[in-house]
Structure 1
Amino acid sequence: MTLAIMQPYFLPYIGYMQLMSAVDTFVLYDDVAFINRGWINRNRLLINGQEYLFSVPLKDASQNKRINEVHLADDPKWRGKLLKTIEQGYRKAPFYQTVMPLTEKIVNFTTDSIADMVHFSLVELNQYLGLTTRLVQSSAVYNNADLKAQERILDICRQENAARYINPIGGTELYDKPTFDQAGIELNFIKSKRVEYPQFRNEFVPWLSIIDVLMFNDTTVVREMLNEYELV
């Protein structure tokens, strides 16, 4: 069994989805410290040919809280505003008619938890793309928040009986293969290849939200894009 662990990111870029599709079980690491100005509640869209950063507004978000302790802002108007922005940016995109209902379902999901909202969004994206990856919220299962860094990752791998652990390429200095080998777990790092596709007639803007990818490509093509990576 192959496993990956990542903080929950809302409507993430395709590299995140590549990691998710490359494994059997994907753990949403939601009982670790919230990251201010990170990608947990933000991402980028293409609006008028330019990248546009959107944010899901949060209430009293802080790096002193765990991700699963952070709540959405009380004002629900952000949902309609975000959907209107997406409609204005993508209504002429080739797959708008199929992707917009999915987007509305995700954005309108009733919850006050950013962790639960991201979990729901990734489950929906999984189903839309026909992926079979099992999604798990770390706060609900492993009971090991007292462990730190690599030891906690290894413990989750052991609990899941994982034979392989895949991490984003940025973690090469955080984890070492000999330690994983000792535990009987193969360690790999995923390196995304640049994926390009037509975005109207604009100069291509890379690494936007998966919503951008879906608006311009059918699911067969997107599944092919999810394989555009190498393991090192």
Structure 2
Amino acid sequence: MAAALAVLDVPELLRHILLHLEDWQEPFVLQRVNQRFEATIAGSLQLRRMMWLAPKPSSKDLNLKVGKGLEFWMEDPPRDRIYNPLLIRQVHVNSGVRWPEGDKCRLYMYTSAEPRGISINVFHGRLVDDSMIFRRGSSWRRMLWAQISAVRISLSFHSFPKVPLHSRYLEFSDGATIGDLMDHIQRHLDVAQEKVRARRQAARKVQKRD
């Protein structure tokens, strides 16, 4: 035990161990319970890249040659290297990505290979049933949502009573995080829901006059 603890006291050895963990998300848990782990991760660019906390040195490393697939259900090898695994790991033929929890989410994502982009579909109701997705300070919020900025993001709203379907195209700079993405979507969702409330109030006033 003493020898094992001694290894953890050497930053280079600890960094090497963390880099070879099978689960790339495990360091997020470790850094919350031990300041030594936290300092090692903060001081290692390799670790931060592995954890999607820092971008790759160059988009050339991603081999962005377009795959065979044009839609999310078809083959698209670069997708796993471009987009954060948290965003695409639950892609299904019929449902797309439900993030972060399939039974609580009103947001669906679909990726396309040509042109490279993401379609985000938001349905009427709260984005999720609890505040977990918007909790400040959560580790996932600091993670990059994509390794490149040249990704077309279309945001569409569906099933909003008395409000026509409308779409927007979102633009983000390099280094945008999942937190940035979700906050941006939430702001647009708030605007759409405010339109719903305003139209409902207007409809009630008309009914009262009648």
**Range class of TM-score, shorter chain:** under 0.3
Give 1 or 2 for the bigger CA radius of gyration: 2
Task: Report which of the two has the higher share of strand.
Answer: 1
Tell me the TM-score normalised to structure 2 length. Answer: 0.21
Tell me the TM-score normalised to structure 1 length. Answer: 0.20
